[in-house]
Amino acid sequence: MQHDTPIHPSRATWVRTHTILVSILIVLLVVTAATGLLGRDIYEPFALPKYIQESRAQDLITLALGVPLLVVGLLGLRCDRAWAVPLLTGVLAYELYVYALYVIGGIYSALFLPYVAVTSLSLYGIIGLLVGVDAARLQRLARPSLPRRWIGAFFAIIALVFAIIWIGQVITTIRTGIVDSGHVIFCIDLVIVLPAFGIAAVKLFRREAFGDVLAGLLLLKFDSLCLSIALGQLFRSMASIEIEAGLLGVFIPLGVVGLIMTSLYLNALRPTPTPH
């Protein structure tokens, strides 16, 4: 994609700052995810067996997908590619979500402070990238094929479906008085994640430039989460732990649609060939 403005000193500083931040984060992710996947007594004393398997699935996603995509995103950021910030923030949003669950859920293993560091770096990395991104330029460079209304409708469906599911969980917990450790998930979703999908949906319907940035962030975060949930259920099955078929019945169809939307989104942000 062609530069329509030169890289000025403030942008160079922004790129350098986030290159350092994300590089530190990559090292922490490799250490914590590899230790969680291969080590012992990392999750066992602090979580139910079913959540231990899901955590290891999340670690595998981080190592096999998250870290490589962060490297690609950094290269794209340094080359001023339009897709770089949506890619980076999408992966950071996934890591923020996962590691916030470890921190808030009280996984007080030897890795607790690294979990805190990953959560903090991911959060402020997202904020810094979103503050510095030129959303108007991204929208200007996007191809007409970007399906804003379809993505917005998809986000609205996600927000509605999971609001119904999680509010149902809340009502059940209030009625029974039994608090499962999984309550952290629907608390974070109801407070932060689902409102973000709703805000992005509105901005996409209005064709606001920042909606295009949020679309990439939320699509990549959602795709990664769907993949980790499906893999987590596989890990459960391999450990002879009962799987949640209903969970797969929700996340697999939505995940397939999410992947289609993501491919259309990224294709719309590919560099336009320069005519000869």
Cβ–Cβ contacts within 10 Å for residue 131, how many?
A: 8
pLDDT digits (tens, 9 = 90+) for 139-187: 998 999 899 999 999 999 999 999 998 898 889 888 888 877 677 888 8
In-domain check, residue 227: yes
In a domain, 275, yes or no: no
Per-residue tokens: 41: 């007594």
Question: Are the beta carbons of 100 and 21 closer than 8 angstroms?
Answer: no
Q: Which of 243, 228, 188, 248 is nearest to 59 (CA)?
A: 228
149 found inside a domain = yes
274 in a domain, yes or no? no
| pLDDT tens for each residue of 8-60 | 458 889 999 999 999 999 999 999 999 999 887 788 888 778 888 889 999 99
Distances (CA, A) of 155 to 95, 151, 197, 259: 20, 6, 5, 13
pLDDT one-digit tens code per residue, 57-66:
999 999 999 9
Domain count, the chain: 1
Mean pLDDT for the chain overall:
90
Residue 4: inside a domain: no
**More confident site: 223 or 179:** 223
The string of pLDDT tens digits covering residues 243-260 is 888 888 989 999 999 999
**Residues of the domain holding 162:** 9-268
Q: Is residue 3 part of a domain?
A: no
Cα separation, 263 vs 269, in Å, equals 10
- Considering the domain boundaries, does residue 56 fall inside one? yes
Q: Look at residue 218 and tell me whether its pLDDT is greater than 90.
A: yes
Q: Is residue 273 assigned to a domain?
A: no
Cα distances (angstroms) measured from residue 107 to each of 59, 110, 113, 167, 210: 14, 9, 10, 25, 35
Residue 5 has what pLDDT? Answer: 44
pLDDT at 227: 94
